Structure 1
């Protein structure tokens, strides 16, 4: 009932309006509805994840010292709120113009780039630590990462500048999409796919070389986090490359920001888990030290 009030022409109505509106208009309207539903679902999922981890996050923000990694965490965690606000405004406010769509979309593209850069920086730093702070590995990762950022910016903003935005000609359907020329939007995800492939290769190489040489639990946790993160990145990058090349209307970009949100959730969640695990390990070591001051040595050894 609510959906039918917000969108007077639901999918059922659009099927019955085929004779009144051109097929392209109906297809575009359906794509805009799907796009809006996906963004509303993503916003709900993001808020749910935030509510589930708010206690652990509060402890981290209050108790951890400020550092570059903590700054990355704050940016990666809270920039998506701005991204959702801008996109939901664009999807729900009626009577958009092409200029308004282009302006808000540029803001969204900037926020998306900031989010994915912060998320990737987490795992570049982790990979650097896994390689024992090897400067050559760091230089290779940073140079590749810089090339990905520059290439993505050029592809995103040039596509936005040359591809016109259109709105639905069917009354009651809000939102806008790029009608043509947006095929080059696959380029950032292809570049990101290459970066993820490079990073997962470095992680697996390090794991194979050092698997028998270390028994650190945190080392194993970092390896598992990195591999899972890069596997998700490779999968979503491939999906976005295919949708950008094969689908039309708003369908072509419906999973683009979804990837950035998943990256932000994984990066911040994994960092919280690692920080709390490290704190628990340090706390256990402190407890053992305090206990050793109170108990005889043979008892400690048996403990």
Structure 2
């Protein structure tokens, strides 16, 4: 049984035109964040070792330029064809999924490191990826084939706009929350189990727990907003909310990873709890 496609052809043309400014502001925010943290970016890229999380970091850091570039072209295109609008939305859907997957993967690898690279945790992660990623891919394929777009906002006003989407996309955000909850629980369990031994100390694990909690709260809130937007508001509203969420995910994870690396470089000591306590290399070598 196919999921119904929700059509919303009554979205106000004035609101759709104003959304163009919101997309431009989102692109400007990303560029501003990159420029203002460029010195930290250069320090991290040049001094940290080339490991898997660094590649994931670079993916989260630079793929949004492509993603937001497509958003900007789609938004500012004067006379787009219907086929080009469909291509733009499909590209945004897949690029956004890769960005969020890379962001989540960074936290998976962090958790794997603080669990002393346990094979049980590794297999649990692999099982989770298969369990969560398989339906997400299937839903995204269905989503892109079912999404209804238009190249005309209103009579005499051209522009790409989404007017319908499958409600199955709701499950993507539910699965995303499940993945984030798993990472948070595993991190908290490891932190609590080591609390008595490291009571009163300020360490890398504390930074990790703080990051994971904040990232989880932001992920749950943004996913909840998206679920409401998809269920109640026109499809163009949920599209804007999705773009904001993807950009926020990338911004949060890159800033957090820079902060973790900088903290470990500046404050971690051999006699203090750090990632080396779990026989894992420090973030400058592993993360």
TM-score by structure 2 length? 0.83
Larger Rg over CA atoms? 1
Q: State how 1:87-102 maps to structure 2 within 5 Å.
A: 87-102=71-86
Report the equivalent of 2:159: 174
Work out which structure has the larger RCO, using CA pairs closer than 8 Å and 6 or more positions apart in sequence.
Answer: 2
Q: Tell me the C-alpha RMSD between the 2 structures.
A: 2.1
Report the equivalent of 1:220: 206
Q: How many residues align?
A: 260
Q: State how 1:143-182 maps to structure 2 within 5 Å.
A: 143-166=127-150, 167-177=152-162, 179-182=163-166
| 2:254 is equivalent to residue 268 of structure 1 | yes
Q: State how 1:229-244 maps to structure 2 within 5 Å.
A: 229-244=215-230
Segments of 4+ in structure 1 off by > 3 A? none
- Residues 1:150 and 1:124: Cα distance change in structure 2 (over 3 Å): same
**Aligned-residue offset at 1:31:** 4.2
Q: State how 1:67-86 maps to structure 2 within 5 Å.
A: 67-86=51-70
**Aligned-residue offset at 1:37:** 2.5
Aligned with residue 113 of structure 1, among 90, 97, 117: 97
**Aligned-residue offset at 1:34:** 4.2
Report the equivalent of 1:130: 114
Report the equivalent of 1:21: none
| 2:206 is equivalent to residue 206 of structure 1 | no
SS at match of 2:50: coil
SS at match of 1:269: helix
Task: Tell me how far apart the structure 2 counterparts of residues 78 and 241 of structure 1 sit (CA, whole Å).
Answer: 27
Aligned with residue 197 of structure 1, among 181, 199, 209: 181
The gaps in structure 1 that reach 5 residues or longer are 1-23, 286-303
**Aligned-residue offset at 1:202:** 1.9
- Residues 1:203 and 1:27: Cα distance change in structure 2 (over 3 Å): same
**Aligned-residue offset at 1:121:** 1.0
| 2:145 is equivalent to residue 188 of structure 1 | no
CA contact (8 A) 2:100 2:250 kept: yes
CA contact (8 A) 1:96 1:176 kept: no
Deviations along 1:219-238, one digit per CA (max 9) or x if unpaired, are: 11111111111111111111
CA contact (8 A) 2:165 2:235 kept: no
Report the equivalent of 2:242: 256
Q: Hey, which of these two has a bigger chunk of helix by percent?
A: 1
Higher mean displacement: 114-123 or 181-190: 181-190
Task: Tell me how far apart the structure 2 counterparts of residues 251 and 237 of structure 1 sit (CA, whole Å).
Answer: 14
Q: Hey, which of these two has a bigger chunk of strand by percent?
A: 2
Task: Tell me how far apart the structure 2 counterparts of residues 117 and 268 of structure 1 sit (CA, whole Å).
Answer: 13
Task: Tell me how far apart the structure 2 counterparts of residues 148 and 30 of structure 1 sit (CA, whole Å).
Answer: 38
The gaps in structure 2 that reach 5 residues or longer are 1-7, 271-287
CA contact (8 A) 1:25 1:168 kept: no
Task: Tell me how far apart the structure 1 counterparts of residues 168 and 16 of structure 2 sit (CA, whole Å).
Answer: 20
Higher mean displacement: 87-96 or 148-157: 148-157
Report the equivalent of 1:63: 47
CA contact (8 A) 1:32 1:175 kept: no
Deviations along 1:121-179, one digit per CA (max 9) or x if unpaired, are: 111111112223222222222322333222222212212212321231233452221x2
Report the equivalent of 2:4: none
